[in-house]
Amino acid sequence: MTATLTRAARDRRPRTLLRAFAPVLLGAVALALWESVARSGAVPALFLPAPSEVAVRLSEDAGGLLWSYTWPTALRAVAGCLAGAALALPLGYLVYRSRTAAVALGPYIAASQALPAVALAPLLVLWLNRGSLPIVVLCALMVFFPILMTWVLGLRGLDPDVLDAARLDGASGAAFLLRVEIPLALPALLTGLRTGFTLSITGAVVGEFVMGGRGLGSLIAARSRSGDTEGLFTVLVVLCLLATAVYIVLGAAERRSRHYLGENS
């Protein structure tokens, strides 16, 4: 038995290394190609600066400028994602539990996804004035649908035999939700939050771009007006790093929850 486990661990090690280094290798190849194209002069630097030049500019801005603009965007994205989740989770549970609610609310939930964020932004300014509140509301509207749908699908995918066994053990009501349904559907919930936060960052940037306020969106607008291509790329890099960091953290939490559920199933 021990030899089998050891052999399985050795078999998993190459896959783990490949999973860790494959994105790094792909990124290095892409950066090398980008650098060579930019240095060749085939594309003017105004349109495509070299990655090395973007890195230098990023190091110059990272000390204070970018951080002072990143912090408000990140806070608005987090607040919007949490607000969207606070609305989506109870409504999703209602849709899961009640066929009548699913039929009645389904068209309106789908319609909420069809509304473009850029079209909503001016209306939110009229209704809520300028500031962080309309941007947070815009983020919440953008993340609401994917979180709700992932949550509902996760609940509907629960093993009926496990649920029946929990009911036979006496679980019911709020205890059944908190101790059985939520833990079992936690991987799906984390997947929805991971997708939702990425969209929430997009919503925050769009909101700042349209509504104003200090943040990465307003920095993009200012640098776009001045033709500062290197500066635009540095903001894009920061946005990618922010989204990637959250994606990795929530992805690790999702894998850990699946591992925990597998051990206790």
Tell me the per-residue pLDDT of 106-129, one tens digit each, with 9 for 90 and over.
888 888 777 777 778 888 888 888
Q: How many CA atoms lie within 13 A of 255 on its CB side?
A: 5
pLDDT of residue 2: 47
Residue 41 placed within a domain: no
Residue 136 contacts by C-beta under 8 Å, 6 or more apart in sequence? 76, 79, 80, 83
* Rounded CA separation 204/137 (Å): 9
Whether residue 6 is contained in a domain is answered as: yes
Asked if the structure places residue 40 within a domain, the reply is: no
Domain hosting residue 113, numbered range: 49-263
pLDDT, average across residues 67-84: 92
| Domain-located, residue 237 | yes
* Longest alpha-carbon distance in the chain: 72
CB 112 within 8 A of CB 105: no
Q: Is the pTM of this model over 0.75?
A: yes
- At which residue do the structure tokens 């699908």 appear? 153
Nearest residue to 72 (alpha-carbon basis) of 221, 225, 222, 212: 212
Instruction: Tally the domains of the chain.
Output: 2
Give pLDDT, residue 205.
92
> Is residue 160 included in any domain, yes or no?
yes
In a domain, 42, yes or no: no
pLDDT at residue 144 is higher than 70: yes
Residues 60 and 137 in one domain: yes
- Residue 87 pLDDT: 94
Domain identity same for 22 and 148: no
In the structure encoding, which two tokens stand for residue 112, read together? 């909420």
Task: Please tell me whether residues 88 and 203 are part of one structural domain.
Answer: yes
186 Cβ contact list (under 8 Å, min separation 6):
257, 261
Q: Are residues 144 and 246 in the same domain?
A: yes
Residues 12 and 127 reside in one and the same domain? no
Contact status, residue 171 vs residue 240, Cβ threshold 8 Å:
no
